[in-house]
Amino acid sequence: MALDLGEAQASAARTRGVGRLGLALAIAILAVAPFVVYPVFLMDVLCMALFACAFNLLIGGGGLLSFGHAAFFGAGAYIAAETAKQFGFPFELAMLSGIASATFLGLLFGVIAIRRQGLFFAMITLALAQAVYFLALRLPFTHSEDGIQAVPRGRLLGIVDLGNNLAMYYVAAAIFLLGYLLVARVWRSPFGQVLRAIKDNQPRMISLGYPVDRYKLLNFVLSAALAGVAGSLKAIAIGLATLTDVDFTTSTAVVLMVLLGGMGTLLGPVIGAILIVSMDEYLAGIGVPVPVVVGVIFVLIILVFRRGILGEAIYHWERWQARVALRG
């Protein structure tokens, strides 16, 4: 089916139009939300959503399943919390230190793990993340079980007092939105296209002369850095960095969010994060064991709706569209 150039341009313009509309809608929702829902809870959701987007970049874009993404989230959280609290770094600098350490850790993990694919890649990242967990348990500055508590939020650019929940929320919302747009940009870039091509047929991309491992490594580091943004932001916004941030349950939680929302869709991970964080909050209140419910959702997704919520919706919508087009 050959589209002529005029129609292609019109279609691109239409997509851009939808994109602009969606962006305006997202900004409106983010702006109004703290007046409806408790801002601290919202910040938690935003951080996890950004974390899920970072993970989605890796699995949806590159097809690599990491079981150790909590290491980057946790590294960001611990370093940002430590630099803000002990070294008295201002907000921006504490965030940057957290992000830098997550990026560095991502590079380290990536260089080691990128040599294997599929199942082994998952097991290696899991083992490496466990090593980071043990470090967090043993190093003196992380205070093992207690974690780093009462992290000061400081001031944005030395002016805006982030001690105010609403101010902190809007900063977090802005960072989330920038992160999301970055993922969307990478997704549509030639780099993102190459990544998806590698996912679909790696031997072919190698034979075409693409440095496949370099692409995958860069994507992995990018994903780790974004996870670091989410972790640093969480440590400062919630004021806490603990062992939970680096442990296996956090690594699996982010996998679940992305699977539930629909991996490989841009908005899916956000939907997944909203659902899972809300579910955690609700279930903890009524005393139902969260891990069991998480396990059941895992099994259900794999057996019943592997594309995730948004993925299934898009799939059925497109099928319906195709049927209409056939009839018309």
Partner 1 sequence: MSLTALFGQLLLGLINGSFYAMLSLGLAIIFGLLAIVNAAQGAFYMLGAFVAWMLLQYLGIGYWWALLLAPLAVGIIGMILERTLIARVYNLNHLYGLLLTLGVFQIIQGMFVHWYGTSGQPYGDPVGLTGGYNLGFMFLPAYRAWVVGVSLVFCFGTWYGIEKTRLGAYLRAATENPMLVRAFGINVPRMVTLTFGGGVALAGLAGVLAAPIYQVNPMMGANILITVFAVVVIGGFGSILGSIVTGLALGVLEGFSKVFYPEASNMVIFAVMIIVLMVKPAGLFGRER
Binding flag, residue 275, partner 1 (CB under 8 A): no
What is the C-alpha to C-alpha distance for residues 200 and 39, in angstroms, rounded to an integer? Answer: 41
Binding flag, residue 252, partner 1 (CB under 8 A): yes
Q: Within 13 A of 202's CA, how many CA atoms are on the CB side?
A: 13
CB of 123 to partner 1, least distance (A): 4
Nearest-Å Rg of the Cα atoms of the chain is 20
Find out whether 141 and 97 touch, Cβ atoms under 8 Å: no
CB of 208 to partner 1, least distance (A): 22
The owner of tokens 């982010």 is 254
Binding flag, residue 284, partner 1 (CB under 8 A): no
Binding flag, residue 126, partner 1 (CB under 8 A): yes
Helices (H), the chain: 5-32, 39-56, 62, 70-85, 91-113, 118-138, 165-188, 190-200, 202-207, 212-234, 248-261, 268-286, 290-303, 308-327
**Which residues sit opposite 155 in a β-bridge?**
161
Using CB under 8 A as the binding rule, the residues of this chain from 298 to 327 that contact partner 1 are 298-299, 302-303, 306
- Give whichever of 12 and 288 is closer to partner 1, judged by the CB atom: 288
Region for 156 from its dihedrals, namely left if φ exceeds 0, alpha if ψ lies in -120 to 50, beta otherwise: beta
Choose which of 1, 2, 36, 119 interacts with partner 1 (CB under 8 A). 119
Binding flag, residue 290, partner 1 (CB under 8 A): yes
Binding flag, residue 25, partner 1 (CB under 8 A): no
CB of 288 to partner 1, least distance (A): 9
CB of 12 to partner 1, least distance (A): 32
Residue 156, judged by CB atoms within 10 A of its CB (0-12, 13-18, 19+), counts as middle
Binding flag, residue 271, partner 1 (CB under 8 A): no
Binding flag, residue 66, partner 1 (CB under 8 A): no
- Give whichever of 113 and 237 is closer to partner 1, judged by the CB atom: 113
Binding flag, residue 17, partner 1 (CB under 8 A): no
CB of 31 to partner 1, least distance (A): 36
For the CA atoms of 104, 267, 123, 248, the dihedral, rounded to the nearest 10 degrees, stands at 80
CB of 30 to partner 1, least distance (A): 31
Kindly state the tokens that stand for 320. 């319906």
Span of 92-100, 113-121, 209-217, 308-316 interacting with partner 1 by CB under 8 A: 113-121
Span of 32-40, 121-129, 159-167, 309-317 interacting with partner 1 by CB under 8 A: 121-129
Using CB under 8 A as the binding rule, the residues of this chain from 36 to 65 that contact partner 1 are 65
Handedness of CA 301, 307, 308, 313 (dihedral sign): negative
Span of 152-160, 176-184, 205-213, 286-294 interacting with partner 1 by CB under 8 A: 286-294
* Residues in CB range of 39: below 8 A, 6 or more apart: 165, 166, 168, 169
Find out whether 204 and 194 touch, Cβ atoms under 8 Å: no
Site residues, partner 1 (CB under 8 A): 65, 112-113, 115-116, 118-120, 122-124, 126-128, 130-131, 134-135, 138, 248, 252, 255, 259, 289-299, 302-303, 306
